[in-house]
Amino acid sequence: MKNSFKVSIIIPCYNEESNINQLYKSLSEHINDFSYELLFIDDGSTDKTLDNIKAIASTNKQVKYISLSRNFGHQNALKAGYDSAKGDCVICMDADLQHPPELILEMINLWQKGYKIVTTKRNQDKSLGLFKRITSRVFYKIINFLSEVKIENGTADFRLLDKQVVQELKKINEKFLFYRGLIPWLGFSQIQLEYIAPPRFSGKTKYSFSKMLHFASDGITSFSVKPLKVSIYLGFLIAFVAFLYILYAIYISVFTDNAVAGWTSTIISVLFIGGIQLIMIGIVGNYLGKLFMENKKRPNYIIKDKND
């Protein structure tokens, strides 16, 4: 007999043609005991991803797909999934088998024990590559220093949410989504599982270095206004140093005979202040740009095709 609840599994896919079949196969081994809905979000793939999904959907009514009109990015694809998931709990995972399907049962057990949110944390693993491990660690250090919500190093977009939590999440329509930060912010009873991430089953990572940088800067500026305050502290610091320097300059010109027109000190202070000002204008501009984009109230994604 099948359990009485329904599990939605959301899988954002961007050019994952070589992973879909294997993912479906390994998922099937773990989810056949309950009624489920497999919701593939095709994030504007240009390869055979959508064809592969459609082929699976034609053999299994529980497989659904949503195809976006272009590449809207991982987080927006996730939103598309959350917005149309119908299950009593909703799990999201990557298409490249880096999120082990065997964890799903454990997540569901914890959910049945009453946890509304089950998050996962990737254990630092050699197979990830030194570069990814270091950049990820630096990013989490910075974001935790700057923002009010705590996000643990290695938190993955592999989690289970109760229907109630998804209802709340759906109300959040911000343009620059960063679910890893939003989830701890939501509250409810949360618990975390740890896992070892195997290397990608097939294909290349869809997070290029520049995409990762954008993602990191969105994560920071969406959760903290502290960078804006930095200018105030820096302003005070520089004013204080300048004050000391003025005392020194007065001393030199009043009590000694070495008051030479100081080209060096002039050029250094001009460059220094100029540099700081540019940095601060950049930070302010970053937030202003976000306000501008947010204000347009454009949708996070556009659906081209779906089967439900």
User: Which among Mg ion, ligand UDP, none contacts residue 16 (Cβ within 5 to 8 A by kind)?
Assistant: ligand UDP
User: Which among ligand UDP, Mg ion, none contacts residue 207 (Cβ within 5 to 8 A by kind)?
Assistant: ligand UDP
Closest separation between CB of residue 275 and ligand UDP, Å?
33
Closest separation between CB of residue 97 and ligand UDP, Å?
9
Residues in a beta bridge with 92? 10, 159
Measure the CA–CA gap between 107 and 1, rounded to whole angstroms.
20
Given the complex with ligand UDP, which of 94 and 218 has the nearer CB atom?
94
Measure the CA–CA gap between 53 and 33, rounded to whole angstroms.
22
User: Which among ligand UDP, Mg ion, none contacts residue 73 (Cβ within 5 to 8 A by kind)?
Assistant: ligand UDP
Closest separation between CB of residue 127 and ligand UDP, Å?
12
Helix (H) or strand (E) holding 108, with range, is helix 103-112
Give whole-number Cα distances, 125 to 130, 132, 185, 307, in Å. 9, 10, 27, 38
Given the complex with ligand UDP, which of 223 and 301 has the nearer CB atom?
301
Closest separation between CB of residue 218 and ligand UDP, Å?
13
Given the complex with ligand UDP, which of 5 and 207 has the nearer CB atom?
207
Residues in a beta bridge with 120? 193
Binding site for ligand UDP (CB under 6 A): 12-14, 16, 43, 71, 73-74, 77, 94-96, 98, 205-207
Closest separation between CB of residue 137 and ligand UDP, Å?
14
Displacement of CA 125 from its chain's centroid (Å): 20
User: Which among Mg ion, ligand UDP, none contacts residue 165 (Cβ within 5 to 8 A by kind)?
Assistant: none
Measure the CA–CA gap between 12 and 95, rounded to whole angstroms.
7
Give whole-number Cα distances, 257 to 143, 252, 254, 261, in Å. 52, 7, 8, 12
User: Which among ligand UDP, Mg ion, none contacts residue 74 (Cβ within 5 to 8 A by kind)?
Assistant: ligand UDP
Given the complex with ligand UDP, which of 73 and 154 has the nearer CB atom?
73
Return the residues of window 75-94 that contact Mg ion according to CB under 5 A: 94
Given the complex with ligand UDP, which of 128 and 166 has the nearer CB atom?
128
DSSP 113: T
Give whole-number Cα distances, 149 to 84, 144, 246, 251, 282, in Å. 27, 7, 42, 49, 24
45 touches 52 (CB < 8 A): no
According to CB under 5 A, which one of 19, 49, 67, 98 is a site residue for Mg ion?
A: 98
Measure the CA–CA gap between 166 and 298, rounded to whole angstroms.
21
DSSP 176: S
Closest separation between CB of residue 13 and ligand UDP, Å?
5
Closest separation between CB of residue 44 and ligand UDP, Å?
8
Place of tokens 């991803």: 49
Q: Which two tokens stand for residue 71?
A: 């590449």
Given the complex with ligand UDP, which of 16 and 37 has the nearer CB atom?
16
Given the complex with ligand UDP, which of 95 and 161 has the nearer CB atom?
95
Residues at the site binding Mg ion, with contacts judged by CB under 5 A = 94, 96, 98
